Structure formats: structure tokens, C-alpha cells
């Protein structure tokens, strides 16, 4: 899932300074699971902002809403009517949701309330660890389901001991000796914005 964390309150206040009416908009999927941008977090953040702005005499009118997924136009339509009542949107979605809102509703400013961190896994209560860098050329089938790209800073030795140990336990060490083609890094994020097109799903 996409893991994110809330920006510091001071930074959020700076992002919405100058606006008088702001919609705090949550997202009901990934950022809800990591307790950063769901309905509960929308309520807590909106309350904190109301108190903070009232105390310094720069009170902002805040509305609250949460959609199922901010990364899809159809779900954002649920708040389209609210946008005519506010000056800006404070999005508690990942960076994809923020960009989707700005593309879908270009007449209004949407600013991020979260910092998008990584694609991760909850490893224990309150802890998330990076497990995927979305490199576009997945090697998990030949590395015992352990990603050497995301689990090692240099994509070299750190994860390989785990891979070796797991391959040994599965009785598949011979797979590590098989020659493999060079990894196709053209599919990674370093080549610019990526896009997947499924022609069979296009109308």
C-alpha cells in the first residue's frame, strides 16, 4: 500500500494561509490504513487547525469530507458541489490524489497535507516498512519473494543473505546459479513519468 504521514501543522498552516474557506479532504484507502488521511484524521486535523487559527486571530472556515479514493475521478465527483463553497482543498491523500484533484478541478487549488513516503507493508502495530519501489521489472519470482531493490540501499548485498537463506529453506538454491539477463532499468522511475495502457480495457 502507499504509506504516507501528515505534514507538520506549521507547514500545513502555511500551505493554506491566505484562504478563508478550506475543504479538508480525506481518502478512504491506503492513507486510511496507515492512519494518515482517513475520516478520523480529517476530523482531528480540522479541529487542530480551527483552534490554531482562532488563537492567532486568522481563523479559517473548514469543511470536512472523505472520498473512497482521491486518485479516481469518479469518486471525487462526490465532493464536486462542495468545491463551489471553498477557496482551496487541503488533501489528505497521497501525491497521486493531490494531482488528480488538481487535474480534475483546475479551477480550485488543492494542496497536500501529507508527505507520501513509499510502497510498504505493516510489519507490526504502528510500523510500516518499504517493500517495493515500483521499478516496473519485478524480480520477486527469482529472489524468493524478497525484493533486493527496495530492501537494500544500493540494490546489492543487504537483502541477498535473506534471499539465499529463503532459497535454501525452499530447496531452490540452484535458481540463484542460473544466468539471468540484465535488469531492464528503462521501466524504473529514473526514465521519467511512467504509464501503463491496457488496450483491452479501453472504450
**Tens-place pLDDT, residues 112-143:** 999 998 899 888 888 888 889 888 888 888 88
Cα–Cα distances in angstroms (integers) from residue 184 to residues 54, 132, 188, in the given order: 54, 16, 8
Domains and CATH numbers, the chain: 2-118 (3.40.50.2300), 133-191 (no CATH)
Is residue 129 classed as helix, strand or coil in its secondary structure?
A: strand
Query: Is residue 8 predicted with pLDDT exceeding 60?
Result: yes
Q: pLDDT of 21-54, one tens digit each?
A: 999 999 999 999 999 999 999 999 999 999 999 9
Cβ atoms of 76 and 97 within 8 Å: the answer is no
Contact between residue 5 and residue 114 where contact means Cβ atoms under 8 Å apart:
yes
Strand partners, 121: 129
* Sign of the alpha-carbon dihedral angle for 149, 95, 30, 76: negative
Q: What is the pLDDT of residue 153?
A: 72
- 157-198 tens-digit pLDDT: 778 899 999 999 989 899 888 888 777 767 666 665 556 576
**What pLDDT, on a 0 to 100 scale, did the predictor assign at position 115?**
92
Find out whether 156 and 148 touch, Cβ atoms under 8 Å.
Answer: yes
- In tens, the pLDDT along 99-111 reads 999 999 999 999 9
Rounded Cα–Cα distance for residues 140 and 147 (Å): 6
Amino acid at each position: 500500500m502507499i504509506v504516507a504521514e501528515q505534514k507538520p501543522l506549521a507547514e500545513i498552516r502555511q500551505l493554506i494561509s491566505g484562504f478563508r474557506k478550506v475543504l479538508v479532504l480525506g481518502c478512504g484507502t491506503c492513507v486510511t490504513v496507515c492512519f494518515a488521511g482517513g475520516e478520523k484524521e480529517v476530523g482531528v486535523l480540522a479541529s487542530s487547525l480551527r483552534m490554531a487559527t482562532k488563537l492567532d486571530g486568522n481563523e479559517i472556515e473548514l469543511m470536512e469530507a472523505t472520498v473512497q479514493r482521491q486518485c479516481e475521478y469518479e469518486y471525487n465527483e462526490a465532493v464536486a458541489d462542495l468545491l463551489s463553497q471553498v477557496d482551496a482543498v487541503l488533501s489528505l491523500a497521497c501525491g497521486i490524489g493531490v494531482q488528480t484533484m488538481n487535474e480534475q478541478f483546475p479551477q480550485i487549488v488543492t494542496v497536500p497535507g501529507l508527505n507520501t513516503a513509499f510502497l510498504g507493508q505493516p510489519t507490526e502495530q504502528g510500523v510500516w516498512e518499504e517493500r517495493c519501489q515500483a521499478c516496473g521489472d519485478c524480480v520477486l519470482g527469482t529472489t524468493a519473494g524478497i525484493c533486493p531493490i527496495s530492501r537494500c540501499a544500493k540494490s546489492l548485498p543487504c537483502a541477498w543473505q535473506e534471499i539465499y537463506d529463503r532459497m535454501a529453506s525452499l530447496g531452490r538454491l540452484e535458481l540463484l546459479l542460473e544466468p539471468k539477463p540484465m535488469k531492464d532499468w528503462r521501466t524504473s522511475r529514473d526514465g521519467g513519468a511512467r504509464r501503463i495502457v491496457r488496450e483491452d480495457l479501453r472504450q
